[in-house]
Structure formats: C-alpha cells, structure tokens
Amino acid sequence: QKEVEQDPGPLSVPEGAIVSLNCTYSNSAFQYFMWYRQYSRKGPELLMYTYSSGNKEDGRFTAQVDKSSKYISLFIRDSQPSDSATYLCAMRSSGNQGGKLIFGQGTELSVKP
Amino acid sequence: EAGVVQSPRYKIIEKKQPVAFWCNPISGHNTLYWYLQNLGQGPELLIRYENEEAVDDSQLPKDRFSAERLKGVDSTLKIQPAELGDSAVYLCASSLNLGAYEQYFGPGTRLTVT
C-alpha cells in the first residue's frame, strides 16, 4: 500500500463547476500538506500549503486537512479552463531537517469552456 | 528571479548508453532535489542535497545512477548504462534549506530510452 493515495482521474468538468480533489494517507507523522499544480510539460508548482489540521483559503482555492481521518482535500470554486492541469497532493513529516516529500499519483483535471 | 534551470529538456538515447542531466537551482537555495516522474505518477525522490552533502540517497539505484553537487550549487545526475525502464521525466527542485516546506521545480528532462 502506498503512503499517499490520490483519487484517479481524469476528471472533466464544465467551466464554473466546483471541483473536489482528494487524497488519503497512512503515515500519522505527516504534518505538512501541500497541493501542487502541474501543467503539461512543466514542473510542479506549489498551489496551497497547510500545516497540521484545518482549512486554508486562497481566492478560489480551499485546502482542507482532516488528520483524524488521514484525508486531505482541495476545492476549486468557479473553475476556469486555465485550471486544467494535473493536481498533486504531497505531504511530509516535521523536524528540523524535514521529512521526505511524498506525492500522490496526481489527478488530471480538464475544465471545458 | 530565475527559476530552477535544467538541461537538456529532451533526450533520446539507445539502451546501454550513458546520459547526464544538469540542474542549476535558484540562487541562495541550499537544498537540491532530484526526482523521477513516471507517466501518470507523482514525483519520487531520488536524492537530496544540503549544500554539497547528499543527505538522503536511499532511493537512488546506485548500480547505475550517480549524482554530484560540486561546490554546493549546480548538480549533475548520471545514468550509466541506461535501461528501457529509465524512460521518464527527471525533475530537479530546490528549496532554501531542508526544513523549508516549499520546493521550486524545474521543467524537467524527458528521457526516452530506445
């Protein structure tokens, strides 16, 4: 079993839809939770970052972490065609030297005009 | 500010040939990472450096892969000899230090082994 499991794609939605992307994990030591966005032929770029449990909002994006369920989510409101990309969840443990960043497999999202 | 620079962007080689990838991290970033990304998968860490010291190379297949980060800046990842299964995207990333949560990724080198 992988440490991080991500809902498989591809996911296709109409413009303006609310998108929900999810990951589950097994390692209770994970403290830092991130969402990266990766456009085709590009490297991943950090979209959202959350430490421990709770919600974080940034514009149309909301990240949620439920450590009791080992479940994280990314919500995209009013989705736009420019949101079409692969979304990767990633997480790591804490510590002065930091833990290794573990990625999910990614969910490919397509937002249709 | 320039991002993480990688070269080449694409490389096609025959199996058993050697290949090398180069990475220049963001200026001032002490930590450098090499990742492997297979099609439809997330990146997987191969090795990470703090300055010129490899602090985690447990995932690097040392029989054919090697890496170096001379002077704690640029880094080179080498495969010798390449196998068909090495076809993937090789990503380089950097961060301020090991504890920094944000890693900045380069565009990657897409390797095809025929």
Q: Longest Cα pair distance anywhere in chain B, in angstroms?
A: 39
The residue in chain B having the minimum alpha-carbon distance to the alpha carbon of residue A10 is B40
Interface with chain B: mutation pick from A97, A102, A105, A108, highest number of B CBs within 10 Å: A97
CA distance A77 to A64: 14
* Residue B98, pLDDT score: 82
pLDDT at res. B45: 95
Predicted confidence band of residue B70 (pLDDT cuts 50, 70, 90):
confident
What's the sign of the alpha-carbon dihedral B92, B96, B97, B100?
negative
Tell me how close the Cα of A25 comes to any Cα of chain B, in angstroms. 14
CB contact under 8 A, B45 and A45: no
Question: What is the tens place of the pLDDT at every residue in A4-38?
Answer: 999 878 999 999 999 999 999 999 989 999 999 99
The residue that leads in pLDDT, A54 or B86, is: B86
Please tell me the number of Cα atoms within 13 Å of A89 on its side-chain side: 28
Q: Which residue of A has its CA nearest to B104?
A: A45
